[in-house]
Copies of this chain bind each other. A is one copy, B any other.
């Protein structure tokens, strides 16, 4: 039986699955073979398209002329599919139901091309088995952080008014969008697990089960963030010690009940001993002890624990120049390599700090060969414009994933535990607040499926689906406003990798000294002579020495360190000459003027698209561009004024610095 395609509420943007994207499929004769819930999903998709566009679909019928057959040939868990075309017929086969679903969306993506000429059989298989979104959604609205922590797209898709939403049709539509870009796992609540959210694990697991039920037809497994203190908070035990037998039994029992409610439950996500969350340190236990306890509870059911490596001292003394937050994850976790259970995944942020616009790749990645690592990206634009600025992160993520920390293996290959992104989605009609931020979500899915993919090609895929039948002009315009937007954002914000020049608390807009005297370990040390953090092994915090030899050598010296990370690794005088030939101070001035000019140009391009894109979408983006431009100018002027006041060096071009 075909499963009906979800219908999101009136006014919700179709994102990359507009009806028109299904026209090529919907005008064909289609055969579907196989059985099971996901085959029903595929059947429903095809049936809806055929009904709309005049095609025909048959299920398990005998052979006769078909344009497309979608065939499930087995019952395994593989997500791969094959695609071929010959003798006028396109064939997709898969040995597992998810593969068939991905094959269907592959056909949608190809459009008419899927039905023309000949295609040799090709096999598509995700490079990573876990392609996950972490939602930092709160159930109860947090007094400071709101419904979604660091959320810039309205409320939560899952939770409202302290409970799971009753109508889950939009969650089903969300699952459909995710499947269409290859995502197969979702953690449905914030890693900062507050009092209300703790109960999702036990007496409120039914609400999680409802969400899991809505996501399941699109091949998505549901995960849950839990508090390490659950045995005390929920179980009334006197301890949460991971080696305590009672604690282990409590987790085993609680986990068994989770699986009764959600048989395909994915597992737990845990932020422990981090920014005030409880953890094993309180009991003198290691993070491997903590993770392995949960892994043991999950193992009988096939679940995984995602244990976050984001552990550092957030009560640092800014006067102390020897402690370096960038070192923390490596220092905490590398000694534990080999101690983690097979179903314990260490989830590592891609950079050593916290999702700044420019960071080096975390030295932890590649340094724990005996541990399954997942790499965590941030789709929600906490530090990259909060979905009021256009900042397509594809190129940044791709740079990270293609980098080779050690001989041979890239970050994308080392992420054996999966690729995870903090979600940028909410109940906003455009899903992501800024309509163009949808491209980040889509690109993430593509990179999780294939970390070596060309992000430009993923952007083209996204444009092709989102704007079916786009003219060359529209296509080029969209490429123009998106493709360079990350580097533009970098230009008008914190320079040369130094990071964290943002307003404390909400992190939007500039405040050069906002975190300079804070306990958060985020400093730039600007004085009248120079700026930057000396993280060299020779004279600094030693962080550069955490890398493998080749990278350690590159980062160790200002002469070899890439310009864009210079201030991350070195404290240099304002007159220091970059590889570009410019001084640091002149680079700061120039990039800030350039960045604003680039925003102005992009805004003009967008404005020229009025009439070519959906009016509501055009208006929303135009309104956000106005704010982006205002904010970019504020960034430019504050950063330039700050460094002019400190350095006293005038702009060589004589432009206005306030």
B-binding residues in A (CB < 8 A): 143, 318-319, 503-505, 510-514, 517, 526-529, 634, 637-638, 641-642, 644-648, 658
Asked if A319 and B658 make an inter-chain contact with CB atoms under 8 angstroms apart, the answer reads yes
Asked if B517 and A641 make an inter-chain contact with CB atoms under 8 angstroms apart, the answer reads yes
A449 CB → nearest B CB, Å: 42
Q: How far is the CA of A503 from the CA of B504 in the complex (A)?
A: 9
Select one of B318, B514, B645 contacting A526, CB under 8 A. Answer: B645
Given A513-B513, A517-B510, A638-B517, check contact A645 B505 (CB 8 Å): no
Select one of B511, B528, B529, B648 contacting A517, CB under 8 A. Answer: B511
Asked if B528 and A648 make an inter-chain contact with CB atoms under 8 angstroms apart, the answer reads yes
A567 CB → nearest B CB, Å: 16
Question: Which of A510, A527, A638 has the most chain B CB atoms closer than 10 A to its own CB?
Answer: A527
Q: Considering only CB atoms, which chain B residue lies closest to A658 in the complex?
A: B319
Q: Considering only CB atoms, which chain B residue lies closest to A644 in the complex?
A: B527
A629 CB → nearest B CB, Å: 15
Show 30 residue pairs from A and B whose CB-CB distance is below 8 angstroms, ordered by the A residue: A318-B658, A319-B637, A319-B641, A503-B504, A504-B504, A505-B505, A510-B517, A511-B513, A511-B514, A511-B517, A512-B513, A513-B513, A513-B514, A513-B642, A514-B514, A517-B634, A517-B637, A517-B641, A517-B642, A526-B645, A527-B644, A527-B646, A527-B648, A528-B528, A528-B645, A528-B647, A528-B648, A529-B648, A645-B646, A646-B646
Q: Considering only CB atoms, which chain B residue lies closest to A513 in the complex?
A: B513
Q: How far is the CA of A586 from the CA of B528 in the complex (A)?
A: 18
Question: Which of A526, A641, A644 has the most chain B CB atoms closer than 10 A to its own CB?
Answer: A641
Q: How far is the CA of A341 from the CA of B647 in the complex (A)?
A: 55
Asked if A646 and B319 make an inter-chain contact with CB atoms under 8 angstroms apart, the answer reads no
When distances are taken between beta carbons in the complex, the residues of chain B under 8 Å from A645 are 526-528, 646
Asked if A528 and B637 make an inter-chain contact with CB atoms under 8 angstroms apart, the answer reads no
Q: How far is the CA of A634 from the CA of B319 in the complex (A)?
A: 10
When distances are taken between beta carbons in the complex, the residues of chain B under 8 Å from A644 are 527
Q: How far is the CA of A658 from the CA of B517 in the complex (A)?
A: 11
Q: Considering only CB atoms, which chain B residue lies closest to A505 in the complex?
A: B505
Q: Considering only CB atoms, which chain B residue lies closest to A527 in the complex?
A: B645
Beyond A319-B637, A503-B504, A513-B513, 12 additional contacts (C-beta under 8 Å) are: A319-B641, A504-B504, A511-B513, A513-B642, A517-B634, A526-B645, A527-B646, A527-B648, A528-B647, A528-B648, A529-B648, A645-B646
Q: How far is the CA of A504 from the CA of B503 in the complex (A)?
A: 9
When distances are taken between beta carbons in the complex, the residues of chain B under 8 Å from A527 are 644-646, 648
When distances are taken between beta carbons in the complex, the residues of chain B under 8 Å from A528 are 528, 645-648
Q: Considering only CB atoms, which chain B residue lies closest to A649 in the complex?
A: B528
Q: How far is the CA of A513 from the CA of B634 in the complex (A)?
A: 15
A510 CB → nearest B CB, Å: 7
Q: How far is the CA of A647 from the CA of B505 in the complex (A)?
A: 29
Q: Considering only CB atoms, which chain B residue lies closest to A641 in the complex?
A: B517
Q: How far is the CA of A511 from the CA of B518 in the complex (A)?
A: 9
Q: How far is the CA of A645 from the CA of B511 in the complex (A)?
A: 17
A237 CB → nearest B CB, Å: 32
Q: How far is the CA of A637 from the CA of B658 in the complex (A)?
A: 28
Q: How far is the CA of A143 from the CA of B511 in the complex (A)?
A: 24
